[in-house]
A and B are shown apart, each in its own frame.
Chain A
Amino acid sequence: MPTTSTVDGTARAAVVSACEDVHDAGEADHVDGVPVALVARPTSTAQVSEVMRAGSAHGLTVVAAGRRTKLTWGRPPTSADVLLDLSGLDQVVEHAAGDLIVVTQAGARLSHLQEALAKEGQLLAVDETVPGSSVGGTLAAATSGPGRVQAGTLRDLLIGLTVVRADGVVAKAGGRVVKNVAGYDVGKLVTGSFGTLAVVTEALFRLHPLPATRRWVTVPFDNPAEAYRLAQSVVHAQCVAQAVEVDWPAEGPGTLGVLLAGIEDGVAGRASAVLDLLGGDAREDGSAPDGWAAYPWDVSATGDDRSTALKLTFALSGLPDVLEATRHTQAPVALRGSAGAGVVYAALPSGTDVAEIAAAVDALRTVCMRHEGSLVVLDASAAVKDAIDTWGPIPAIDLMRRVKDQFDPDHRLAPGRFVGGI
C-alpha cells in the first residue's frame, strides 16, 4: 500500500505520457481535504487504461471522478495521488430507441443524457438527486430518488459496461440486450462500489418510454403513525404509484407525496383513487412538490458548511419507528425519502454539536438495524466524520475484502473511502 501522496518524477512522466491532459493539482482538486498530486483528464477508454497502467507500475493511488459532485461522499481516501477526471468521456455514444437501450460514456452528464433520450420520447428511469451528476458518478454512488419504487435503481437498469481495472486491463461485461445471463453480473458488483473496484468508462442502460402524463397527490401528516397509515394505504393499493414519498422538515408537519405516471386517462383515474384513499386533506397537482427528488440538504455545500447527510434503509413496516426516532434526537433532523421503498434521507444542519450528531447517528442506526436495514453517513464535515462510523456493521465484509483483493490487490483505487477501510 502506498504511503506517499506526492508523485516522483518518473511516475509523473509515466502519467503524462499516458494521457494528453495532465496537470498538477490545485487545492480545488483535493478530495475531501486529501491532497492530490496530479489531475489526469483522459478522453478515451484507451487513455484511461494507459493512465491506470502507469499508476500500477508506479504504485500510484487513483480516485476517479465524474463531475465531482459526490467526491466527498463516504470516507476521505487515505491517499489520492491521481485524480482521474472523466469529464472528457462525455459522449452519448448510441441511442437505439427501437431497442430501448442507450450506450453512454461515464463522464456524460445525466441531464445531457436525459435530454438526448427525450428527443425520442424515452428516459433513463433514475432521478437526478444531485444536480450536475455524471452517469459514472451516479453509478459509483448508486444514488436514487422517488422513482425507484416502480422503476428500480440504476443496478436494475444497467445492462452492460466497460471497465478499466487497476492493472489497466480493459474489460466488458453484459451487452446490448436486456435479457442476458452470460457470465457474472460485473455491473451490479461495480454499482455503488465508490470507484474502489474498477473505473467505469462506458455504460449501457435499458430505457423506458417517457410517460404521457404525471400527476402528484399530496397530503399532510403530523405524526409517525398517521404517516405510516397513509403510506401503507397507497403502498398496498392497486394504483401502481411510481413514488410514495415522505417529506418531514425538522419543524412543522410532514407531507406524503404520491406520483402517478402513465397515459392520460389512466393517470386521471388512478389519481382520483388515491385522493379517495388519502382522505379530505389530499390535493392533486400537475407539478412536483417543492424539493421533489432532491436530498434534504444542500448538496453544493463544502467543508464545514456541509450538513450531516444520512441514508436510512429499513423494512417498510419500520417507517413509524424511524420517523419517531428522528423527532427524538437532540439535534433537529430533516427527512425526505421513499416510504414505498424503505429508503429515506435525513440531514442534521451544519454547525450542530458533534456529540449530538454522533448520538443521533447511533440512535437512528439502531432503529434502522432493528428493522433489518442500515444507516450510512453519506457526507459530513471532517470533524463529524472523525467522530462517527460512516458505514456501520457489514456482515459480509470478509468476502468483500477478498473481492477487493482480487480486483485491486495493491489497494490503489480510492483506498479508504469504502466499507471496512477498503
Chain B
Amino acid sequence: MSGTHGTPKTASGDTGQDRERDAALAAVTRTARELIPEAGVITDHMRLRTYECDGLAHYKVTPGLVVIPETPEQLAGVIGACAEHRLPYVARGSGTGLSGGALPRADGVLVVTSRLRAIREIRREDQRAVVEPGVINLDVTKAATPYGYYYAPDPSSQQICSIGGNLAENSGGAHCLKYGFTSNHVVGAELVAPDGSVVQLGGTAPDSPGYDLLGAVVGSEGTLGIATAVTVRLVRLPEEVRTLLVGFKTTDQAGAATSAIISAGIVPAAIEMMDALAIEAAEAAVHCNYPADAGAVLVIELDGAAVEVEGEYTKVERLCNEHNAFEIRVARDPVDRALIWKGRKSAFAAVGRISPDYIVQDGVIPRTALPEVLKAIADLSTESGVRVANVFHAGDGNLHPLVLFDDSVEGAGEAAEKVSGAILDLCIGHGGSITGEHGVGIDKAAYMPRMFTDEDLDTMQLIRCAFDPVGISNPGKIFPTPRLCGEVPGRHKGAHPLQEAGLAEVF
C-alpha cells in the first residue's frame, strides 16, 4: 500500500519510557543549543510542524526537535549526542523525497542539511567536485558548466533536491539510461556514522581498497549515517545535444519505437514517455505545446560527439517513422530544449491541475514487458474507475503511474490505493522492482516482503547492524521488521520500534 492519509498517532508507551525519551530529547536539545546558533535549533511547535512531511504529504509526523547545523562538526556533534542518549534521528535535505524517507520521528531529532550548502571545490583537471550535502543538484551543474563540465544525474526535481538526498536515495533521473545513477557518480563521502564518529569512504581516486562501503551507503536512505561532504564525478559537456519530441497515437506504438531504437544498438541519453492524460496535465501547467491529439509522446535525447549524434539521429528518425510517429520535432535551441523538458519534468506536480489528489508510483518492469503492463494498468483503471496518467523512463522500464483521485469523494482514496498497490504487484510479478529511484522509505516498506524473502531482508540488515547496532539512524524506514542486532549493551527497549514510531497502524 502506498499511503494512508492522516497523521500516524504517536505511541502511548508506558510513562517510564516516555520520561526516558523526554529526558533524552531534552539532553540532545541542550547539546544542540551549545553547538548550533539559536536560529538553527527549532522547538516552537508551529515551526516544527512545517517539517512534518517531505515531498510525500500523505504521511505526517511532527518531529521532537529540528536542528539545522551550519558545519559538519555541528552535525556530528548532534549525532554524537543522539548516540549517547540513544535518541533516534532522521536526516532531511530539501524535503522533496517521494517515499517518506525524511518523515520525522516524534521522539527524535530531524537533522536538516539545508545550511550545509557550500560547493567546496570544482576540480576540472580531476573531473571532480566536492560539495556539502545541502547543495542543490542543479547548482553543481551550474558551478561546473563554466569549466565545460556538468553533474550527470538529473532527477526531475533537480532544481531543488539536494545532493545529500540524492545520495541517500540513489536518485536517477531521465538521463540515467546512458549515464547511470547517483551511485555511479558519487566517488567519495565524509560520513557521520550513527555513533557520531566521522569516517572517510571512497575518495577522489577510484577503487579505494577494502569493502565498497560507499556503495552500500548510497541508496541506504539515511539508515547508515549522514554524509557531510560528497565528492562527485563530473562529466564533460557533450559536443552536441539533440532533443526530439515525437508524437504517437498510442503508447503501444511509442513503446515499439523505443524497443526498436534499443535493439538497433543505440543508447540514447534519455527516452521518456508520457501518455495522453499526463500530456494534458503538463500542457495546463507549463504550456509546453506538445503535439496535439498525441496518445503518447516520446522525449528522446541524443548526445555526444557531433558526428556520432548525427548518425544516431538518422537512425532514430527512421525508426520512429517506421513505428507510426505522426510528428517529429527537433529542438532548435536551448530554449526549445528547455521547454520540451519542462513538460516532462513538471508532470508530477502538474497533475495537481487535472486532479485534486494523486499518488505517484515508482515501479520498474523489464522494458520488453512495457506494452503488456501498460495494458494491464489501463484495464485496472477501467475496472476500478480510477484514472491513471503515465509518465516514465521508457528506456529502462521505470514507470511513474500517477493514480488520480478526489479525496473529498468518499472511498476514493482507498480505491486509489488499491490500484496503486495492484500496479506494484504487477511490477513484482514481471520480475521488476517496487522502486526504481524514489526509494522505499516508509511508503513501500510493506512491499519489501513481496519482493524479497526473509533471508534476503535479513542479509541486507546485517549491513545495518554493522553501521547502526543501536538502531537510531532513521529507524522504521525500508525494512518492515527490523532485525535485532545481537547483544546490545545497556537496557533493552522492549517495545517494537515501529510501534514506538507510532507507525504500526499505517500498515
Q: Does B62 contact A (CB under 8 A)?
A: no
Q: Which of B45-53, B156-164, B216-224 touches A?
A: B216-224
Q: Does A118 contact B (CB under 8 A)?
A: no
Q: What is the bound-complex CA distance between A363 and B365, given in angstroms?
A: 51
| Other-chain residue from A236, A264, A396 in contact with B199 (beta carbon distance below 8 A) | A396
In the complex, residue of chain A having the shortest beta-carbon distance to the beta carbon of B438: A181
Q: What is the bound-complex CA distance between A187 and B212, given in angstroms?
A: 10
| Residues from chain A with Cβ under 8 Å of B180 in the complex | 152, 156
Q: Does B127 contact A (CB under 8 A)?
A: yes
| Residues from chain B with Cβ under 8 Å of A391 in the complex | 209-210
Q: Does A210 contact B (CB under 8 A)?
A: yes
| In the complex with contacts A142-B207, A177-B433, A373-B205, A240-B304 CB distance below 8 A | yes
Q: What is the bound-complex CA distance between A98 and B365, given in angstroms?
A: 12
Contact A177 B213, beta carbon cutoff 8 Å: no
| Other-chain residue from A153, A177, A182, A315 in contact with B204 (beta carbon distance below 8 A) | A315
Q: Does B494 contact A (CB under 8 A)?
A: no
Contact A182 B458, beta carbon cutoff 8 Å: no
Query: For A99, A197, A212, A268, which residue has the most chain B Cβ atoms within 10 angstroms?
Result: A99
Q: Does A385 contact B (CB under 8 A)?
A: no
| In the complex with contacts A371-B205, A396-B199, A96-B366 CB distance below 8 A | yes
Q: What is the bound-complex CA distance between A191 and B215, given in angstroms?
A: 10
Q: How many A-B residue pairs have CB under 8 A?
A: 273
| Other-chain residue from A100, A185, A192, A269 in contact with B308 (beta carbon distance below 8 A) | A269
Q: Which of B2-10, B74-82, B286-294, B446-454 touches A?
A: B446-454
| In the complex with contacts A182-B440, A269-B305, A373-B204, A177-B397 CB distance below 8 A | yes
| Other-chain residue from B207, B308, B396, B463 in contact with A189 (beta carbon distance below 8 A) | B463
| Residues from chain B with Cβ under 8 Å of A368 in the complex | 205
Q: Does B408 contact A (CB under 8 A)?
A: no
Q: Does B357 contact A (CB under 8 A)?
A: no
| Residues from chain A with Cβ under 8 Å of B213 in the complex | 189, 396, 399-400, 403
In the complex, residue of chain A having the shortest beta-carbon distance to the beta carbon of B180: A156
Q: What is the bound-complex CA distance between A212 and B265, given in angstroms?
A: 9
Q: Does A146 contact B (CB under 8 A)?
A: no
| In the complex with contacts A184-B220, A184-B460, A273-B305, A99-B368 CB distance below 8 A | yes
Q: What is the bound-complex CA distance between A395 and B176, given in angstroms?
A: 31
Q: Which of B104-112, B231-239, B374-382 touches A?
A: B231-239
Q: Which of B286-316 contact A (CB under 8 A)?
A: 304-312
Q: Which of B97-139 contact A (CB under 8 A)?
A: 123-128
Interface size on B, residues (CB 8 A): 91
Contact A397 B210, beta carbon cutoff 8 Å: yes
Q: Which of A14-22, A23-31, A162-170 touches B?
A: A162-170
Q: Does B466 contact A (CB under 8 A)?
A: yes
| Residues from chain A with Cβ under 8 Å of B351 in the complex | none
Q: What is the bound-complex CA distance between A28 and B440, given in angstroms?
A: 48
Min CB distance, A170 to chain B, in Å? 6
| Residues from chain A with Cβ under 8 Å of B259 in the complex | 98
Q: What is the bound-complex CA distance between A314 and B203, given in angstroms?
A: 10
Q: How would residues 215 to 232 of chain A score, 1 for a CB under 8 Å from any chain B CB and 0 otherwise? A: 000000000000000001
Contact A193 B211, beta carbon cutoff 8 Å: yes
Q: Does A179 contact B (CB under 8 A)?
A: yes
Q: How would residues 388 to 411 of chain A score, 1 for a CB under 8 Å from any chain B CB and 0 otherwise? A: 000110111111101111110000
Q: Does A263 contact B (CB under 8 A)?
A: yes
Q: Does B15 contact A (CB under 8 A)?
A: no
Q: Which of A323-366 contact B (CB under 8 A)?
A: 341-343
Contact A400 B211, beta carbon cutoff 8 Å: yes
Q: Does A249 contact B (CB under 8 A)?
A: no
Contact B212 A192, beta carbon cutoff 8 Å: yes
In the complex, residue of chain A having the shortest beta-carbon distance to the beta carbon of B427: A177
Contact B364 A189, beta carbon cutoff 8 Å: no
| Other-chain residue from A262, A317, A399 in contact with B466 (beta carbon distance below 8 A) | A399
| In the complex with contacts A191-B215, A391-B210, A238-B448 CB distance below 8 A | no
Q: What is the bound-complex CA distance between A80 and B455, given in angstroms?
A: 27
Q: What is the bound-complex CA distance between A373 and B208, given in angstroms?
A: 7
Contact A315 B205, beta carbon cutoff 8 Å: yes
Contact B435 A182, beta carbon cutoff 8 Å: yes
Contact B265 A210, beta carbon cutoff 8 Å: yes
Q: Does A316 contact B (CB under 8 A)?
A: yes
Contact B216 A315, beta carbon cutoff 8 Å: no
Q: Does A299 contact B (CB under 8 A)?
A: no
Contact A402 B460, beta carbon cutoff 8 Å: no
| Residues from chain B with Cβ under 8 Å of A315 in the complex | 123, 125-126, 128, 204-205
Q: What is the bound-complex CA distance between A232 and B236, given in angstroms?
A: 12
Contact A189 B310, beta carbon cutoff 8 Å: no
| Other-chain residue from A175, A208, A262, A313 in contact with B205 (beta carbon distance below 8 A) | A313
Q: How would residues 256 to 283 of chain A score, 1 for a CB under 8 Å from any chain B CB and 0 otherwise? A: 0000001111111110010000000000
Q: What is the bound-complex CA distance between A237 and B458, given in angstroms?
A: 47
Min CB distance, A399 to chain B, in Å? 6
| Other-chain residue from B125, B212, B215, B460 in contact with A183 (beta carbon distance below 8 A) | B460
Q: What is the bound-complex CA distance between A182 and B176, given in angstroms?
A: 17
Q: Does B172 contact A (CB under 8 A)?
A: yes
Q: Does B267 contact A (CB under 8 A)?
A: yes
Q: Which of B420-440 contact A (CB under 8 A)?
A: 431-440
Min CB distance, B59 to chain A, in Å? 19
| Residues from chain B with Cβ under 8 Å of A399 in the complex | 193, 199, 213, 466-467
Contact B176 A179, beta carbon cutoff 8 Å: yes
Q: Does B462 contact A (CB under 8 A)?
A: yes
Q: What is the bound-complex CA distance between A185 and B220, given in angstroms?
A: 8
| In the complex with contacts A98-B263, A183-B478, A209-B265, A188-B215 CB distance below 8 A | yes
Min CB distance, A199 to chain B, in Å? 12
Q: Does B367 contact A (CB under 8 A)?
A: yes
Q: Does A46 contact B (CB under 8 A)?
A: no
Q: Does A178 contact B (CB under 8 A)?
A: yes
| Residues from chain A with Cβ under 8 Å of B393 in the complex | 179
| Residues from chain A with Cβ under 8 Å of B218 in the complex | 185
Q: Does B250 contact A (CB under 8 A)?
A: no
Q: What is the bound-complex CA distance between A265 and B304, given in angstroms?
A: 13
Q: Does A382 contact B (CB under 8 A)?
A: no
| Residues from chain A with Cβ under 8 Å of B266 in the complex | 209
Q: Does A68 contact B (CB under 8 A)?
A: no
Contact B208 A186, beta carbon cutoff 8 Å: no
> Which residues in A have some Cβ–Cβ distance to B below 8 Å?
96, 98-101, 121, 142, 144, 152-153, 155-156, 163, 165, 169-173, 175-189, 191-193, 197-198, 208-212, 232, 235-240, 262-270, 273, 311, 313-318, 341-343, 368, 371-374, 376, 391-392, 394-400, 402-407, 418-420
Contacts A144-B207, A315-B205 known; 16 new A-B pairs at CB < 8 A: A172-B453, A180-B433, A182-B448, A183-B456, A184-B220, A186-B216, A209-B266, A237-B236, A266-B307, A314-B205, A315-B204, A318-B205, A392-B209, A396-B213, A403-B463, A406-B466
> Which residues in B have some Cβ–Cβ distance to A below 8 Å?
123-128, 148, 169-170, 172, 176, 180-181, 183-184, 193, 199-201, 203-213, 215-216, 218-220, 236-239, 259, 262-263, 265-267, 304-312, 364-368, 393, 396-398, 431-440, 444, 448, 451-453, 455-460, 462-467, 478
Of the A-B pairs whose beta carbons lie under 8 Å apart in the complex, a sample of 26, sorted by A's number, is A96-B366, A98-B263, A99-B397, A156-B180, A169-B458, A172-B453, A173-B460, A181-B172, A181-B438, A185-B170, A185-B216, A186-B216, A186-B459, A197-B211, A211-B265, A238-B238, A240-B238, A269-B307, A273-B305, A313-B208, A315-B205, A317-B126, A373-B203, A395-B201, A400-B211, A400-B213
Task: Identify the 8 closest CB pairs spanning chains A and B, nearest first.
Answer: A188-B215, A269-B307, A266-B308, A373-B205, A209-B265, A179-B436, A238-B239, A171-B459
